[in-house]
Structures are given as C-alpha cells and as structure tokens.
Amino acid sequence: MTWVNAIIQGLLTGGLYALFACGLSLMFGVMKVVNLAHGDLAVVGGYVAVGIITVTHIPVLWSFVIVVPVMAVIGYALQRTLIQSALNRGVLTTLIVTLGLSMVIENALLEFFSANTRGIGAGMTLVTGSFRIGSQIELPYLLLLIFAIAVAVLLGLQYFLSQSSYGRLIRAVADDKEAAQLSGADYRHVFGIAAALALGTVALGGIAYGMYQSLDPTAGTDTILLFAFVAVVIGGLGSLWGTLAGGIVLGVAQQIGAQVNLSDELLAGYLVFLLVLVLRPQGLFTRRASS
Amino acid sequence: MTVPAGGLAGSSSPLDSTEAARPANGTPVLEAAGLTVYHGQLRALDSISLRVYPGEVYAIIGANGAGKSTLLRTIAGLHHATTGSVLLEGADVTGLRPERRARLGIVMVPEGRRLFGSLSVEENLKVGATYARRGPWTIERVYETFEWMRDRRDQQTAQLSGGEQQTVAIGRALVANPRVLLLDELSLGLAPVVVQRIYAMLPHILETGLTVLLVEQDVSQALRVATHLQCLLEGRTTLEGRPDEVTADQVEAAYFGLAGTASIPREGSESS
C-alpha cells in the first residue's frame, strides 16, 4: 500500500513540475531561448507573494491574482530589453545573459531576504491536510489543488495558442519570424507576450513551491530549474502536455526512489532522465504545442 | 549554368530606349531611388532605381545572383540599404521596419513560399489578415477566387502541393490588402504547367486595383505578364522598358551582359 501511495504522490507532484516546466518549454519553442533564470524568476514570484500576503493580509490563495500579472509584465519587459538584445547577438548569448540574470536575482534575494527559508501559508489546513482513502492512501489537499491548477493552466495555454489571434501569431512567429514580419507582425512584441505567459505560469509554480516546500534564494536553480529541465526533456521539447507527462514521470520516479531509500529520491529522478535521454532523446511525447 | 555559345554580340546599348516612352500617370505607387546594398564586402545592388505606377505589373528579370531578390527584400525592409530610399506613394519608408511597411501596404510573397508549417491553411490566411489594411480582399474572397482552398482550409500546409502552397502564400499576402504586391520568384521549384496556372490568375488579382512588382528568373514568363521590364546584372540595371519596346536580342544581351562588356568571365569554358 505504501507503494501505491508513493505513486499517487509522485503523480500529483507532476503537476507542480509541469508548472515549472511549461514556461521554459514555451520560451524555447517560440524564441529558442533557454532561460536559465526561469527558476529564479519563479522564486521571485514566490517572494512577491510572501510580501503581498504580509503587507495586505489578503488570503494566501488570492495572492496569485496580483503576482501572476506582475510577473507577466516583468516577463514582457525582460524579453523586450535584456533577452531581445541578447537574441540580436545570437542564440548562445542568451544563455550567458540569462545565466547572469540568474546570479543577479539569487544574490539580490539573499541580500534582501537572507538565506532563511520561508513558507507560504504554513499551518493552513490546505497545506497540511489530506483526504484519506482506507488506512494507507493519502491525498494531500495541496497537491490535488496544484495538480488541478496545472491542468487548468495547460488547458488555458492550449486554448490561447490554438484559438486566439495572439496565440496564432505566437505559433506563426515560432515557425518563421521573417514571414510573420512580412504579414505585419512585430515578432519582438510577440516574443514579449510569450515571455509574459512563461513567467505568469512559473510564478504560479513559485507560489505552489512555497506552499508545498519552502522558498529560499537558491531554490530557483537548485530545484525548480533542474526539475523543469528534466520534465521538459522527458516530455519532449516544445510539447505542452509533454511537460505534464514529463513532470509525472519525474515525480513518480522520485517517490519510488524515496520508497527504496529516502536518500535515493533525487537519484531515481535523474536516472529516469538519463534513461530517456539514451533511449528516446526526442522525449516520450513529441506532439507539437499547437495540437 | 548554361551559356549560349555565341552570336549575341553587336546589339547597341540597351539603356537608350527607356523612360521616355512610358506614360507617367501621377505619383508612382512605389519608388526606389539609388538603392545600394552590401552583403558583407559584396555589393549586391549598385544604385538601383525604379518607379512602379498604379496598375502596373513591373517585372525584374536577371540571372542568378543578379540582385533581384535582394532588391525586393530591400524594398520590403528585410535588407538595410547603405544609400538610397524607398518611397510608398511619395512617403519615405526607408527607416521603417518590415512589419511597418507591410501594414502600410508593401506586402511580399517571399521566395520559397515560407508558409507557417504548423498552421492550417485558414490560420495562415488569418495571420495575413491580422494587420490588414481596409480593402477588397478578405479570406472569404480568397476562397471565392481559389475554390479548392475552402475545402482544404483545415489542412496543414505541408499536405499541399507546391503550387497549392504558392497559392496560399499569395492568398496570405492578398488578405493584407497591399498597395503593391511583391512576388519573389513564384516559379521556383514548381513545374512549368503549375507556374503558368499561377501566372494565369494574375489578371484576376489585378482587377482589384493592385499593383505588382515581381522578380522572375524565367524570362519568357515575365515577358508574358509584365507591363514594364527591368533587367539586372550584377547589381546594376542593364535594360529597362516595356516588353513590346525591347527586342529579344536586347533582353538576351542584358540578361547575360554581352553588350559591350566582353570582360565578364564565363564559367564552364575550356578546362585544362
């Protein structure tokens, strides 16, 4: 029974990892930018939530109403300035620039918030409670909620990309940005919108992580970015639902590893990652983000 | 590359009989004045000028590497001109980015179609219509003009034949309601019969008051549709005029650069 429990836990954690990963996948798919500051920006989103909750005392769950738009605006601004000017100098430059951005963010967070960990909504029933089925199976409220949010976010993204006029432009620019220019589309603006979506979604991931674990200034690269990468690679680059599938595979592998030996949790996740890289490097699910 | 063996020399300077015979009805829709463009060290265009008047089909011909596509791409804003300017109905657009020019009415069908591969036929047209000017062309009108497209609008463009893809690319440009439509090498990679079918719909498009500037390597095709002709060779204009004003010899000489320019090296002569 503990095994079943572990698998269910892992499956639900996949939702959290999908929130980390879908923005990373989107930015790579649209502008070929591997955003190494992606995880740190999630942590920034988490800290913004902490700040807003402390100052305004709004309910914890409602903090996202402010945090997501704020991070989306930051994403648009970052793309139009720093990342675009790096892109103009070549795709490789974006790696260096986003790595630099990651270091700046981490050190700024250390400066302002110290290295202490901070939780979001610690002690709430939502965070600590769970459904019980029988005597062994446990479904934590929080993981269920995060999983539901992840599915909603992916559905929303899919709908936006396939149905809206901007979504169509995003796909067109990802296909051929010069041809899109000839149709009157400013690809820099479209890139900005894609970055806004990416940071809006990963901000949700940052808040969720702050509730599920706790935030600290280095969690961005140590955990969030790494898990996002693994989920994207397992799921297949550029595939939206692949990030959820990849996240689930990673989560289940980690939980099974933890059942074998508590210290094997991370190891098991990366072993599966390596296995996928060797046996199916294109990822398990290589459908395009548009379909 | 095949070069005719000989017998082409002796035509007079092709630049004599040009501009004078042409009725200049008002301002040109599109004017390029002294465009010079470099690709690195190479001078791809050397002070090229042209004037396209309303309703014209202005054809630019020339061999591979003559600078035809560079000229079109510079007019569309994809290349930066070192000197010279581009005017749209008298207004200077030289400093504008390609997307601004497209919204103002300089719309190009790029070489090799360049459709959005992960989008359906209809989505390609919708992208074209996103920043459209007001005008006669709508997606519905494109479907009326090309009946087959309506039935296949939900297909991915990769499932279409080359000719069909080219037609969708033209449709995508038309729904933007261009003032001047730039067509870059429509015939590239298509069977001759397909090329003829595509050019056969030009009059249909022109009925809506469009002006066309096209680049074509296939000279006979260009001569059939054009109302005005300009031949480029190594970035320079070697011939300009109405198709009925120029002789086949003149065109041939201008195309290959044989008129009074014996110094042009030819490849594929005797090998040692």
**Which ipTM was obtained for this model?**
0.90
pLDDT of residue B65: 87
Asked if residue A289 belongs to a domain, the reply is no
According to DSSP, the residues that pair with B37 across neighbouring strands are B45
Distance CA A215, CA A222 (A): 11
pLDDT at A137 over 90: no
- Output the six-digit token pair for A99: 């790595």
Which own/partner contact pairs does B90-96 have at CB distance under 8 Å and 24+ positions apart? B90/B27, B90/B31
CB B99 within 8 Å of CB B144: no
Q: How many CB pairs below 8 A link A and B?
A: 79
- String of b and e for A71-81 (b: at least 16 CB within 10 Å)? bbebbbebbee
- Output the six-digit token pair for B261: 């320019």
pLDDT of residue B23: 54
Asked if residue A84 belongs to a domain, the reply is yes
User: How many angstroms away from the CA of A186 is the closest CA of chain B?
Assistant: 6
- Output the six-digit token pair for B55: 């309703």
Q: Are strands B228-233 and B57-62 parallel, antiparallel or unpaired?
A: parallel
**Interface residue ranges in chain A relative to chain B, Cβ cutoff 8 Å:** 165, 168-169, 171-172, 174-176, 178-187, 288, 290
DSSP classification of residue A118 = B
* pLDDT tens figures, A59-75: 988 999 999 999 999 99
- String of b and e for A272-291 (b: at least 16 CB within 10 Å)? bbeebeeeeeebbbeeebbe
Of residues A116 and B272, the one with the higher pLDDT is: A116
What share of chain A in percent tops pLDDT 70? 98
Containing structural domain, residue A121: 2-279
Name which of B78, B104, B109, B130 to mutate to probe chain A: the one with the most chain A Cβ atoms within 10 A of its Cβ.
B130
pLDDT of residue A283: 86
Residue B192 contacts A, CB cutoff 8 Å: no
Asked if residue A19 belongs to a domain, the reply is yes
pLDDT at A152 over 90: yes
pTM score, whole prediction: 0.89
pLDDT of residue B25: 59
Contact list in B for residue A182 (CB cut-off 8 A) is 76, 78, 98-99, 102, 107-108, 110, 114, 173
pLDDT at A87 over 70: yes
Domain B27-115+178-256 has CATH 3.30.830.10: no
**Closest residue in A to B182 (Cα–Cα):** A182
pLDDT of residue A102: 98
Domains: count for chain A: 1
pLDDT of residue A99: 97
Nearest 10 degrees: CA dihedral of A158, A163, A164, A168? 80
pLDDT confidence band for A21 (50 / 70 / 90):
very high
CB A155 within 8 Å of CB A244: no
Alpha carbon B117 to its chain's center: 23
CATH number for the domain including A232? 1.10.3470
Asked if residue A285 belongs to a domain, the reply is no
* pLDDT tens figures, B109-157: 999 999 999 999 999 999 999 999 999 999 999 999 999 999 999 999 9
Nearest in space to B230 (alpha carbons), one of B11, B6, B15: B15
Asked if residue A290 belongs to a domain, the reply is no
Between the alpha carbon of residue A11 and those of residues A16, A140, A165, the distances in Å are 10, 12, 34
How long is chain A? 291
Asked if residue A182 belongs to a domain, the reply is yes
**Closest residue in A to B75 (Cα–Cα):** A182
Asked if residue A123 belongs to a domain, the reply is yes
Distance CA B50, CA A102 (A): 51
Between the alpha carbon of residue B219 and those of residues B43, B73, B111, B214, the distances in Å are 24, 20, 17, 12
User: How many angstroms away from the CA of A273 is the closest CA of chain B?
Assistant: 28
User: How many angstroms away from the CA of B108 is the closest CA of chain A?
Assistant: 6
Distance CA B191, CA B163 (A): 8
CB atoms A178 and B127 under 8 Å: no
CB atoms A183 and B110 under 8 Å: no
Instruction: Give the start-to-end residue ranges of the domains of chain B.
Output: 27-115+178-256
Name the burial class of residue B54, with classes exposed (0-12), middle (13-18) and buried (19+) by CB atoms within 10 angstroms of its CB: middle
Residue B72 contacts A, CB cutoff 8 Å: no
Q: Find the helix or strand (DSSP H, E) in which B84 lies.
A: strand B83-88
Asked if residue A284 belongs to a domain, the reply is no
Distance CA A176, CA A180 (A): 6
Q: Are strands B228-233 and B236-241 parallel, antiparallel or unpaired?
A: antiparallel
What is the widest separation between alpha-carbon atoms in chain B? 62
Which portions of chain B are predicted below pLDDT 70? 1-25, 259-272
pLDDT at A257 over 70: yes
CB atoms B98 and A181 under 8 Å: yes
What share of chain B in percent tops pLDDT 70? 86
Residues 228-267 of B with CB under 8 A from A: none
In this structure, how many other beta carbons lie within 10 angstroms of the beta carbon of residue A115? 9
In this structure, how many other beta carbons lie within 10 angstroms of the beta carbon of residue A237? 17
* pLDDT tens figures, A170-179: 999 999 999 9
Contact list in A for residue B110 (CB cut-off 8 A) is 178-179, 182
